[in-house]
Structure 1
Amino acid sequence: MPTSSSDYTLGERICKARDIAGLSTAQLARRLGIKTATLHSWESDRSEPRSNKLVLLAGVLNVSPTWLLVGRGAPPVAEEQTTADIDNMRVALDRVQRHAQALADEIAVLQERLNGS
């Protein structure tokens, strides 16, 4: 299993950066002005982008061309979470906490019943 960015192939780095950018292959291909099949070929290491597309790809993915080519330099970083993402996480956390409390209450009742027997 790769341990650093330089252990990945060019295709793996493109795929990783695309995932972190939150783009589908179709979305990234559209932004680059290429066919989705071409991007699939790059990501599966069947072909490599020309230098002009590599520079454009790096810009769209917010990484350096050097990182894409050889894995040296700053790796891609996920964008900050939006307010909506944070609100959704708070709602989910609240729901899980209420469920956990209900389970804790049920456990306490069952323990009392067992201890009372």
Structure 2
Amino acid sequence: MFNENLASHGDDTLGGRISFARETIGLSAEEAAERLGVLPVSWSAWECDRDVPRANRLTMMAGILGVSTAWLLTGRGSGPMEVPETSQAALEQELRAASADVEALNRRLRTIASRLESRDGG
């Protein structure tokens, strides 16, 4: 589905839309070229509007980028969806918080187990 925030990219060039869609999903040009099975120099030429991909490559490219072929060609149709970017620091903070939660649950489990043992033994 086309994201309304990205509507301004509909008037861009084919190369601009290729580049925008690739960046939106977080792929480097080299990674995208590898997935498509072409040389990075070919992908770069397409993004810079120095060349255009053949129809079969364009269809495969649309699949890799998660957009419709029509959107790549015209800017209309199913374009890229913005993927919220999560910073490394935010992910590390989330991991620390989850680890602290696990530690607290483990302490609680040990306390409950200890109380059960003391009832059984007493």
Normalising by the residue count of structure 1, what TM-score does the alignment of the two structures yield? 0.66
Equivalent AA in structure 2 for residue 49 of structure 1: P
Other-structure match for 1:57: 61
SS of equivalent to 2:76 = coil
After TM superposition, the runs of 4+ consecutive aligned structure 1 residues lying more than 2 A away are 3-6, 78-82, 84-91
CA 1:81–1:41 in structure 2 vs 1: closer, same or farther (change >3 Å)?
closer
**1:73 shift after superposition:** 1.3
Q: Which residue of the partner structure matches residue 42 of structure 1?
A: 46
Give the TM-score normalised by the residue count of structure 2: 0.63
Q: Which runs of 5+ in 2 are unaligned?
A: 1-6, 96-122
Deviation at 1:89, TM superposition (A): 6.7
- Tell me: CA distance 1:48–1:21, structure 2 relative to 1, closer, same or farther (3 Å): same
Q: Over alpha carbons, which structure has the higher Rg?
A: 2
Percent same amino acid at aligned positions? 42
Residue 39 of structure 1: how far off its partner (Å) = 0.4
Q: Give the number of aligned pairs.
A: 88
SS of residue paired to 1:75 = coil
Q: What's the C-alpha RMSD, in Å, of the aligned pairs?
A: 2.4
The structure 2 residue matched to 1:11, chosen from 10, 15, 18, is 15
What is the aligned partner in structure 2 of residue 33 from structure 1?
A: 37
**Residues 5 and 72, structure 1, Cα contact 8 Å, conserved in 2:** no
Structure 1 spans left out of the alignment, 5+ residues = 92-117
Counterpart residue identity of residue 6, structure 1: G
1:78 aligns with 2:78: no
